[in-house]
Structure 1
Amino acid sequence: MFTLAIVGRPNVGKSTLFNRLVGRRLALVDNQPGVTRDLREGSARLGDLRFTVIDTAGLEEATDDSLQGRMRRLTERAVDMADAALFVVDARTGITPADEVFADILRRKGHPVLLAANKAEGRQGEAGMFEAFSLGLGEPVGISAEHGEGMADLAAMLRPLIAEKDVAPAEEAEADIDLEEDDEGEEADWAPTEKRPLKIAVVGRPNAGKSTLINRIIGEERLLTGPEAGITRDSISLNFDWEGVPTRLFDTAGMRKRAKVVEKLEKLSVSDGLRAVKFAEVVVVLLDAEIPFETQDLRIADLAEREGRAVVVAVNKWDLEEHRQEKLAHLKEQFERLLPQLRGAPLVTVSARTGRGLDRLHAAIVKAHETWNRRVPTAALNRWLTGMLEQHPPPAPQGRRIKLRYMTQVKTRPPGFVVMCSHPEAIPESYTRYLVNGLRLDFDMPGTPIRLHLRGQSDSNPYKGRKRAEPSRLRKHTHGRRAD
């Protein structure tokens, strides 16, 4: 499919245009320059045209190993990957010396370059439109990414380029896959003949190595990395094949304690990361081996469990650890003690820098996903329930005997069960935990969230509690009807 890279200086409206083309808010947008740092891909629609669009970091003049220099190299790499580049300038600001430098760089790349003057609505943008001719990239198209103006002109410029790629007709184009889901929790727009990808979100505190780990997994430098904490600003999704399994990885911004999150942009970043957790199937909680199980790590893991996601705990920077056996034993003890709600969930040691342990991580993720989808036959559940009741009958508060009559599984992803019983409100939480722990052990569901609901007869009997009519009145009423 035809691929278009959107490039330009910081804060010229690239992410706003990206969101306009994909038809939804995928990229974070803020007045602060430099919000976008990684490459974000999306399936774009422009009239009858379908193509892939890449949002890039703002082009900086730095060429060293600073953060800005690394962002620039990543953007240039996106231009090399794409079939064409859309160079966006700010019509209200006019052409700057930096625009001229970058226009020259794009010309030397040898790829087709289109020129768009954004924020061209109204008289304020007219002068910048005329100035854009001086860049030597052909006639600029005036657009307003925020208001959607000029999109037809942009489509006219793209059409001949896309035609050369012999793109499939609109009805056969690849469906856009992102965080939009239907009421069932599945992608609403994924073609039914396609195999759905395994969706994995990598979460953790800043500087735990999330982007480095994902780059190592996919085998290429797609995400910006470095020693600075908080490089990733928004959730980036990447589709690839992981050892034969179609996979979709979400890289998320580092999550700090709520009290420390004061900037508007960081709040947006954390919110975007939480959204990725909700739409993932497996959440990899990445810890730093030097300072594992900080309070924020525990909160992140607990969030994933409360959202009902399968959880895998990965301890990064294991290559720097000297006393590995002792440290691993200590980590497992901490895990069991601090996260009892995830008892049995896999804990894997990895090195994002060297790639060691990625095979174990993949195996743990696949197994956790299988467990998350497990369904237990009703007959097996009720035989199991009978044995659990014989081994440890429920208590009889105030002399009221509690009967657990029937059990069935009502959902998967995560496994959810209903037990029909008398006096469900009187069953203590400790007995519920006894049943949940038994389900984990006897049906091999370690670590996955389990939802157990106790339901009384009144929950399903709409006539319970209604006053019954007196026999004499009923006979009189019937007699009257017959007389009529």
Structure 2
Amino acid sequence: MSFTMAIVGRPNVGKSTLFNRLVGKRLALVDDQPGVTRDLREGTARLGDLRFAVVDSAGLELEQGDSLKGRMRKLTERAVESADICLFLVDARAGITPADEIFADILRKRARHVILAANKAEGTAAEAGVMEAWALGLGEPVALSAEHGGGMDELYHRLRPLAAEFTARAEEAAPEVDIDLPEDDAAEAPDFTPSAARPLQVAVIGRPNAGKSTLVNAILGEDRMLTGPEAGITRDAISIRTDWRNTPMRIFDTAGMRKKAKVQDKIEKLSVADGLRAVRFAEVVVVLLDAEIPFETQDLRIADFAETEGRAVVVAVNKWDLEPEKQARLKELKQQFEKLLPQLKGAPLVTVSAATGKGLDRLHGAILRAHEVWNRRVTTAKLNQWLAAMVEAHPPPAPGGRRIKLRYITQAKTRPPGFVIMCSNPEDLPKSYTRYLVGGLRESFDMPGTPIRVFLRSRAEKNPYKDRKKPGQSRLRKHIEGRRP
């Protein structure tokens, strides 16, 4: 990527729509209501033969100070100062407003390069607004239609000369590599150690106001995410690349997830869906709890969702610096954890303080440990020795007087560990016995907390001639039945 371009402008001028157009995916949340975007979202843009980093920012507001809109403006101003190019977007249909003129003065002073673009320029109704944009003194405006893709060729010709100035920077940047594993590598059981080309994917999820964004900022060592006392500040699931304690990671900060019955607003529904999508792409999920009110019903649902999706789970209790009786409280939390989340038995439970940064070393170690267990593979010989001992200690039931035989076990997959057991009449094996086997796998092969999948198979399922009659059997039966008196 040769340069970084930040898309800035007033709320509801189409910045997120243009961002999605440039990256070729619907990454940013888009809605008619202004002020949807609050954090900075980064992506890789593709425009012709150009490859560059693009940043979607919150709408520039006139407010300053410590209010929510004031904090959003500070975050956007930081993106303006760090970007190589600022694409200043105005609404061609609404025309130039006093706020546009103020922001144009700010960009003239702070931005390195500014390109003026008039969005929503499709149709004759926007021609006057495009001409009016000349008055901002930022040169000829580019007439765009982010929704329909109009004007992308003209934007390309504006960016092409500037891209040559950042060639040296592109050579120093690390090449972007797809995080998905090729089939050949997966078949050969590759090394899943996190690297710059294949960083560890970590999603931080939890209820609103649990401190997710504050925790991500503490990990990054900077105020990258918008935070504050208000609940529900984060809307987009924002991913950030970082080297946390020499471990390459991509960390997803997600929106708070309330109970489904309480989610009525359309934006909140989109935010929750974006967070769930981040969980599906993650490898390790950090379920963040509030130390004052841990293990609420919604916390249990969120943790269960992560386990159902097959992700490695780490439970972190935030705001631990406010807890007066730490030892007694920690013992109580561990008891609640074992009782309320038996499906995650043995998963790491760590205490942190996102505000002070304490406990982050324990959280880092727990994430690496959970990831290592999630990728663990056990040899078939050890598994079958283990299966024989488990069957001898507790034989399977015998429905209808015929005991179910467990013949063979092998590990079919990792991430999470999945095992296939060949047995007779798998449909008759009760779930309690399957839980007994899963518990044995956890204890015997040191796989605490990680989701374990057990698949029961019968040899008859692979026999294509199971229900086929032998040659001549039907004629012989008719002959015998015809001779009966």
TM-score range, shorter chain: over 0.9
**CA–CA distance in 2 between the matches of 1:39 and 1:242?**
20
**Of the candidates 312, 329, 341, which is equivalent to residue 327 of structure 1?**
329
Residue in structure 2 matched with residue 440 of structure 1 by the alignment:
442
Cα drift, residue 111 of structure 1: 1.4
Distance 1:14 1:231 in 2: 19
SS, match of residue 167 in structure 2: coil
Query: 3-state DSSP class of the match of 2:249?
Result: strand
Shift in alpha-carbon separation, 1:463–1:110, aligned structure 2, 3 A: closer
Distance in 1 of aligned mates of 2:227 and 2:158: 35
For the 8 Å contact 1:199–1:249, the answer to whether it is kept is yes
Partner in structure 2 of residue 482 of structure 1? none
Cα deviation per residue 1:203-241 (whole Å; 9 max; x = unaligned)? 000000000100110111111000000000110000111
Change in CA separation of 1:23 and 1:404 when aligned onto 2, cut-off 3 Å: same
Whether the aligned pair in 1 keeps the contact of 2:81 and 2:111 (CA below 8 Å) is no
Corresponding residue for residue 253 of structure 1: 255
Q: Of 353, 356, 370, which aligns to 2:355?
A: 353
CA distance in 2, matches of 1:112, 1:256: 42
Residues 229-270 of structure 1: CA distance to partner in whole angstroms, max 9, x if unpaired? 000011000011112221000011100000001111111111
**Where in structure 2 are the equivalents of 1:214-229 lying within 5 Å?**
214-229=216-231
What SS does the aligned partner of 1:127 have?
helix
Deviations 1:75-123 (A, max 9, x none): 0000111111110000000000000011101111151111000001111
Check the 8 A contact 1:283/1:310 in 2, yes or no. Answer: yes
For 2:434 and 2:403, locate their aligned partners in 1 and report how far apart those are by CA, in whole Å. 16
On the 8 A contact 1:372/1:448 being kept in 2, the answer is yes
Q: Which residue of 2 aligns with 1:101?
A: 102
Q: Map Cα deviations across residues 39-63 of structure 1 (whole Å, 9 max, x no partner).
A: 0010111111111000000000001
Report Cα offsets for 1:138-182 as digits up to 9, x if no partner: 111110001000011111111111110116899x9944768x999
Letter in 1 for 2:167: D
Q: Distance in 1 between matches of 2:182 and 2:118?
A: 37
Displacement, 1:457? 1.6
Structure 1 window deviating more from structure 2 (160-169 vs 214-223): it is 160-169
Secondary structure, aligned partner of 2:333: helix
Unaligned 5+ segments in structure 2 are: 187-194, 477-485
Cα RMSD of the aligned pairs, angstroms, is 2.2
Paired residues of 1:43 and 1:176 also in contact (CA < 8 A): no
Give the aligned partner of residue 190 of structure 1: none
Q: Structure 1 residues 181 and 136 mapped into 2: Cα distance closer, same or farther (>3 Å)?
A: farther
Distance in 1 between the 2:251 and 2:271 partners? 17
For residue 386 of structure 2, the aligned residue among 384, 388, 408 is 384
Please state if 1:37 is matched with 2:42. Answer: no
Distance 2:426 2:7 in 1: 58
Q: Map 1:258-273 to 2 at 5 A.
A: 258-273=260-275
| CA distance, structure 2, for counterparts of residue 118 and residue 445 of structure 1 | 54
Aligned runs of 1:201-220 on 2, under 5 Å?
A: 201-220=203-222
Report how far residue 398 of structure 1 moved: 2.1
User: Aligned partners of 1:81, 1:177: CA distance in 2, in Å?
Assistant: 26
User: Among residues 407, 410, 415, which one is paired with 1:408 in the alignment?
Assistant: 410
Measure, in 2, the Cα distance between the counterparts of 1:431 and 1:472: 41
Kindly state the Cα deviation for residue 195 of structure 1 after the two structures are TM-superposed: 3.1
- Displacement after TM superposition at 1:185 (Å): 13
Q: Is the 8 A contact 2:417 2:452 kept in 1?
A: yes
Cα distance change, pair 236–130 in 1 and its aligned pair in 2 (3 A): same
TM-score (norm 2): 0.93
Contact kept, 8 Å, 1:16 with 1:146, in 2: the verdict is yes
Partners of 2:213 and 2:69 lie apart in 1 by 17
Unaligned runs of 5+ in 1: 187-192, 475-484
Cα distance between partner residues in 2 of 1:106 and 1:295 = 47
SS of residue in 1 equivalent to 2:149? coil
Q: Alpha carbons of 1:110 and 1:8: their partners in 2 closer, same or farther (altered >3 Å)?
A: closer
- 1:302 is paired with a residue whose SS is helix
Partner residue of 1:50?
51
Aligned residue runs from structure 1 range 89-128, under 5 A: 89-128=90-129
Q: 1:182 to 1:121 in 2, by over 3 A?
A: farther
2:479 aligned residue: none
Secondary structure, in 3 states, of the residue corresponding to 2:403? coil
Q: Distance in 2 between matches of 1:120 and 1:177?
A: 35
Alpha-carbon distance in 1 for matches of 2:4, 2:396: 62
Picking from 462, 465, 477, the partner of 2:464 is 462
Q: Which residue pairs with 1:422 in the alignment?
A: 424
1:419 & 1:361 partners in 2: Cα distance?
35
Does the Cα contact within 8 Å between 1:43 and 1:175 map onto a contact in 2? no
Q: Which residue of 2 aligns with 1:339?
A: 341
TM-score normalized by the length of structure 1: 0.93
In structure 2, distance between residues paired with 1:122 and 1:326: 68
